[in-house]
Each structure stands twice: as structure tokens, then as C-alpha cells.
Amino acid sequence: MMHIRRSPEEIAANRQRYEEHQKKGLEFAPPKALPAPSSLPAPAIDAAATIHQETIPGGWYWSTALKRGEALRIDQGEGGSTVALVAWNAADTSERLNLVDTVKVQWTTALGKGRVIFSDMGRVMFSLIEDSSGAHDCLMGGSTAASNAAKYPGVKSRNTRDNLVLVAGKLGLTRRDIPAILNLFAPVRVDDDGGFHWRGKLSNSGDYAELRAEMDMIVGFSNCPHPLDPDPVYAPKPVIVTRFRAPAPAVEDLSRTATAEALRGFENNASMLA
């Protein structure tokens, strides 16, 4: 890959253009469009709406089908667990989670209540309808055998990359089909120099997130420590995933109306049903 050197003046001009486009995008949404994080503790889910509940032990993985209009609650339960998530369109697995577009078109890496998560075909896969954390990582990726060996020398441990390879294999997919992952409950922040830092104070014990499905999907999870988690001991705690029937979105549903990009994404979703 050829690396193109750019002058300070060209870099400054590119940054200015970016900031102008960002301002136009953000001006669409009123200042109070996105709410504060969801309150703790998590309210009980109506038993009649519950379809399935799964406890993913520390270090393990799981996958599930998810129908449009259903939702997943991912609950730390005992706290201190990062959950890696990937997803594919159930009807066509070549369409998958795309965090680059999710960040790019919403002008932020801060995913929380009221945001949406896009596919690589410009459609909305998930709406974040509840989220007590607001501290998720969509940039770093997950742990690997090499990163675990360096971080936990001499310890036998499972890692996110290998877990997701197993998820993909059981679905008839390959390594190449695994998209970039969304790390839930991973308080990673980027400094002005582009460095990644773990901000543990942004997380709470018992944090949870609820994602409503906007298309039929297959969703995979891995419950392994994040590469930047400073805990030197490999001891991931179990997480609870509940699949349930979500209430139908209101006409002015926040996730559907907060940004112009979300509106266009849902218009693309509508084309799937036409």
C-alpha cells in the first residue's frame, strides 16, 4: 500500500472540510435529541415478551437468530465484562455489521441510546433503545491468541477472535465473513493524538444495553476481556443475553428520527420489504 505524505496545509484544509460537513450533519438533530444513559438497575422484562435467555460464561461464545422487531438485552449481571458482538443479515450473510459506516454517517464513535448500527449496505441493523453505559468500543477490535499470550503469560485462555471463528464456522461461514466487532461495555476513548485509553470510571457494575433488530439477523457474541482492560487476571464474568419481543416503535421513535442518516437508513430498510 502506497503511503501519501500530505503537507500541514493540506491536512488542515481536509480537517476544516470534515468539520464543516460534521456541523451540517449534527445540526439536523436538536440539542436534546439524544437522552442520558438508561437508569440502573435494569427493569424486569415482561415474562410474556421473553423468547429466550442465555448465560454466556466468561471466555465463551454464543449465537442466535433474531427477527425484525425483536430485541436483545445484554446484561453484565456481575459487572466487569466486555461483550463482543457481530451480526449478519439472515437472508443474505454477505450483508453484515459495518462499524466504519456506523461511525462515519453519525459523526461520532460514541454509540448509546438513540443511535443506530448500520450494515455495509446502508441499512439499519440495530437501534440502541436502552443503554446504561454509553461506553462502548467500535474501533479497537477484540482479543487474539497473541494478545492474550502477551497479557496473561502462562495462562490458558480463550479469546474473541477464535471464538468468532467458531461462531462463523457453525453458521457455515468463514473467517473472511467476520465483520469488525462492536465491544459492548468497553470504556475506550481516543485522545487528541489518536491514542486509545481505557476509562474504567465510565462503566458501572450491572450495566446493560438493549438492541432492537431492524431486520432478520444472525447475531454472534464473545465474552472475553477487551485487549485494553487493565485487569492483569483473566477472569471474565458471565453475561446474560435475553431475546424478547420489543414494543413497536412509535411514529417519532428516537432512533428513527434523531439524525438524517438514520432516516435514510430506514428508507433503505423499507426497500427490503417492498
* Grid cell for residue 106: 453519525
Contact (CB, 8 A) for 124 and 212: no
pLDDT at 200 over 80: no
pLDDT digits (tens, 9 = 90+) for 91-150: 999 999 999 989 888 877 888 898 999 999 999 999 999 999 888 999 889 999 999 999
Tell me which long-range contacts 22-31 makes (C-beta under 8 A, separation of at least 24).
Answer: 22/107, 25/105, 25/106, 25/107, 25/259, 25/260, 25/261, 26/107, 28/259, 28/260, 29/258, 29/259
pTM for this one? 0.87
**Three cell numbers, residue 29:** 438533530
pLDDT given for residue 119 in this prediction: 96
Which pLDDT does position 3 carry in this prediction?
Answer: 57
